[in-house]
C-alpha cells in the first residue's frame, strides 16, 4: 500500500517539475525590459535583453533562439556584418543580446503599425564581445536617434558614394510623401553626420 500511495506523489512531482521547466523556458524567451529610451503618444523606444543562442537569419540580421522581440517578429537588424557575427558567435552557446526596439502605432489606421528591432550589443557572461553602437569608420560611440530630413541635394556621384557607403551613420533621410508620421530610428555617429552635413554649404536647400 505504501508503494501504491507513493506513486501518485511522484507523478504529481514530475508534473510540477515539467510545468516549472516549461515556465522557465518560456520566460527566458521573452524580452526583458532594460529601460525606456523614449515614449510618445503613438510610439515608444525601449532597450530589452534577450538570452539565447544566435541564429544568423539573413544579411546583417539574426535571431535569438526561439525568442520573439514582438509577437510577430523574430529578426534583429544589425550594423555588424554577417561575417563579423560568424567570427564572434558560437551557434551552440547562449549569449545576452541587448536590443533597441521601436514600436509605432496608429489607432485609426492599424495597418500602418510598424515595429523594428536593432541589435545594440552582445555579452557573454557579462563580457562585451560585440558592440553595434560603435562606428566602424570613426571608432566612436553612436547614439540611437530618430532620423532627420536632409534638406539639400547631392550634386555628385562622389558625394552619393560617401553618404551611402562611407559616412553611412549620418541618420539623415529624404522627406517622404506619405505623411503618416513615421519616425525611423537608427544609429548616428557625430563624425559621420558632420561629414555629410558639410555638403550642405555647397548647394542650395530644397524649397
Q: Could you tell me if 92 and 175 lie in one domain?
A: no
Look at residue 2 and tell me whether its pLDDT is greater than 70: no
Look at residue 31 and tell me whether its pLDDT is greater than 90: no
Look at residue 194 and tell me whether its pLDDT is greater than 60: yes
Beta strands in 31-126 (DSSP E): 32-40, 43-52, 54-58, 61-64, 76-77, 95-104, 114-124
Task: Say what the pLDDT of residue 62 is.
Answer: 86
Task: Say what the pLDDT of residue 143 is.
Answer: 93
99 — pLDDT class (breaks 50, 70, 90): very high
Task: Say what the pLDDT of residue 83 is.
Answer: 87
State the Cα–Cα distance between residues 82 and 63, nearest whole angstrom: 12
94 — pLDDT class (breaks 50, 70, 90): very high
Q: Could you tell me if 45 and 118 lie in one domain?
A: yes
16 — pLDDT class (breaks 50, 70, 90): low
Task: Say what the pLDDT of residue 39 is.
Answer: 86
Q: For 13-38, what is the mean pLDDT? A: 62
Listed residues 98, 132, 166: the one ending a domain: 132
State the Cα–Cα distance between residues 150 and 196, nearest whole angstrom: 10
Task: Say what the pLDDT of residue 142 is.
Answer: 94
Listed residues 88, 114, 132: the one ending a domain: 132
Look at residue 149 and tell me whether its pLDDT is greater than 60: yes
Q: Could you tell me if 43 and 85 lie in one domain?
A: yes
Q: Could you tell me if 62 and 125 lie in one domain?
A: yes
Q: For 114-118, what is the mean pLDDT? A: 87
Q: Which residues of 53-90 are buried (b: 16+ CB within 10 A; e: fewer)?
A: bbbeeeebbbbbbebbbeeeebbbbbbbeeeebeeebe
Going from the C-alpha of 169 to that of each of 41, 159, 182, the distances in angstroms are 27, 14, 19
Task: Say what the pLDDT of residue 103 is.
Answer: 87
**Residues spanned by the domain of 182:** 137-207
Listed residues 115, 132, 149: the one ending a domain: 132
207 — pLDDT class (breaks 50, 70, 90): very low
Amino acid at each position: 500500500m505504501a508503494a501504491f500511495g507513493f506513486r501518485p506523489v511522484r507523478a504529481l512531482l514530475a508534473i510540477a517539475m515539467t510545468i516549472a521547466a516549461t515556465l522557465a523556458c518560456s520566460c527566458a524567451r521573452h524580452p526583458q525590459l532594460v529601460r525606456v529610451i523614449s515614449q510618445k503618444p503613438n510610439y515608444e523606444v525601449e532597450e530589452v535583453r534577450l538570452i539565447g543562442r544566435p541564429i544568423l537569419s539573413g544579411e546583417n540580421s539574426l535571431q535569438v533562439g526561439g525568442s520573439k522581440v514582438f509577437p510577430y517578429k523574430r529578426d534583429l537588424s544589425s550594423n555588424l556584418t554577417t561575417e563579423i557575427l560568424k567570427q564572434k558567435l558560437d551557434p551552440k552557446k547562449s549569449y545576452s543580446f541587448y536590443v533597441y526596439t521601436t514600436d509605432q502605432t496608429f489607432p485609426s489606421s492599424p495597418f500602418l503599425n510598424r515595429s523594428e528591432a536593432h541589435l545594440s550589443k552582445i555579452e557573454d557572461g557579462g563580457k562585451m564581445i560585440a558592440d553595434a553602437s560603435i562606428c566602424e569608420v570613426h571608432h566612436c560611440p553612436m547614439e540611437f536617434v530618430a532620423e532627420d530630413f536632409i534638406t539639400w541635394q547631392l550634386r555628385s556621384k562622389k558625394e552619393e558614394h560617401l553618404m551611402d557607403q562611407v559616412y553611412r551613420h549620418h541618420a539623415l533621410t529624404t522627406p517622404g510623401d506619405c505623411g503618416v508620421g513615421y519616425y525611423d530610428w537608427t544609429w548616428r555617429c557625430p563624425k559621420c553626420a558632420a561629414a555629410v552635413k558639410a555638403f550642405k554649404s555647397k548647394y542650395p536647400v530644397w524649397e
